[in-house]
Chain A
Amino acid sequence: DGGITQSPKYLFRKEGQNVTLSCEQNLNHDAMYWYRQDPGQGLRLIYYSQIVNDFQKGDIAEGYSVSREKKESFPLTVTSAQKNPTAFYLCASSKGDSSDEQYFGPGTRLTVT
């Protein structure tokens, strides 16, 4: 079955540590996205990539980094510079055009203490 996988589902880290969240898709989609969601809030765009080896900052990129070395993979690193990293992180992919729907992974809930 085609889809998007994110791992792990729950992640716990100590403050000051970098952590990398995994996102893999086998939908052959060109575009991939990372969103952050805080309790009771909407989704805010962190980074997106429309093609391998290229990515753009979203609205809240500070304290995060990404890479897109393969079409299927778009890992997100939450660095120690992110002041409030505890949140629900969602990865999505689409064919790439603004008229194409986004397919979301199940999300990773990150807790930093």
Chain B
Amino acid sequence: QQPVQSPQAVILREGEDAVINCSSSKALYSVHWYRQKHGEAPVFLMILLKGGEQKGHEKISASFNEKKQQSSLYLTASQLSYSGTYFCGTYNYGQNFVFGPGTRLSVLP
């Protein structure tokens, strides 16, 4: 079951903040976040695990609400380099890893 991401797209000015959400209809074991720039491969940002453990880049902030089966990625003081498409990927119990449809982020000067 593919996770749902919101918003589908967001436009920011440099320095502004954004939140990208990822939700699943099934219980989650872990949530992964990746960023992909046009024509390039996705790059790992963060993993959030059931139980509260997190792995990822220090400058990236995210949360994982196990009860609500949701995760949010927080982008603060955005820079031009933050532009790209953000994907969450989820491991549900007994199922394959599946990516969400993506959130397209554009940061303008």
A contacts, CB < 8 Å to B: 33, 35, 41-45, 48, 56, 58-59, 90, 98-107
Assess the A104–B96 pair: CB atoms within 8 A: no
Assess the A101–B96 pair: CB atoms within 8 A: no
Assess the B32–A90 pair: CB atoms within 8 A: no
Assess the A104–B29 pair: CB atoms within 8 A: no
Please, how many angstroms separate the alpha-carbon atoms of A44 and B101 in the complex?
10
Known: A98-B97, A102-B32. 15 other contacts (CB 8 A): A41-B102, A42-B102, A44-B99, A45-B97, A45-B98, A56-B96, A90-B41, A99-B53, A99-B55, A101-B44, A101-B47, A102-B34, A103-B44, A106-B40, A106-B41
How would you classify the secondary structure of chain A's contact residues: helix, strand, loop or mixed?
loop
Please, how many angstroms separate the alpha-carbon atoms of A33 and B41 in the complex?
13
Please, how many angstroms separate the alpha-carbon atoms of A106 and B18 in the complex?
28
Please, how many angstroms separate the alpha-carbon atoms of A72 and B102 in the complex?
29
Q: Give the chain A neighbours of B87 by CB distance below 8 A.
A: 42-43
Q: Which of B41-93 contact A (CB under 8 A)?
A: 41-44, 47, 49, 53, 55, 87, 91
B contacts, CB < 8 Å to A: 2, 29-30, 32, 34, 40-44, 47, 49, 53, 55, 87, 91, 96-102
Chain B residue nearest in CB terms to A100: B47
With contacts defined as CB atoms under 8 Å apart, how many contacts are there between chain A and chain B in the complex?
53
Chain A residue nearest in CB terms to B100: A42
Query: Which of A41, A44, A45, A104 meets B42, CB within 8 Å?
Result: A104
Assess the B96–A48 pair: CB atoms within 8 A: yes
Chain B residue nearest in CB terms to A37: B36
Smallest Cβ distance from B44 to chain A, in angstroms? Answer: 4
Q: Indicate the member of A41, A42, A101 with the most B CB atoms within 10 Å.
A: A42
Assess the B47–A99 pair: CB atoms within 8 A: yes
Assess the A101–B32 pair: CB atoms within 8 A: yes
Can you list 12 pairs linking A and B with CB atoms under 8 Å apart? A41-B101, A41-B102, A42-B2, A42-B99, A42-B100, A42-B101, A43-B87, A58-B96, A90-B41, A101-B55, A104-B41, A106-B40
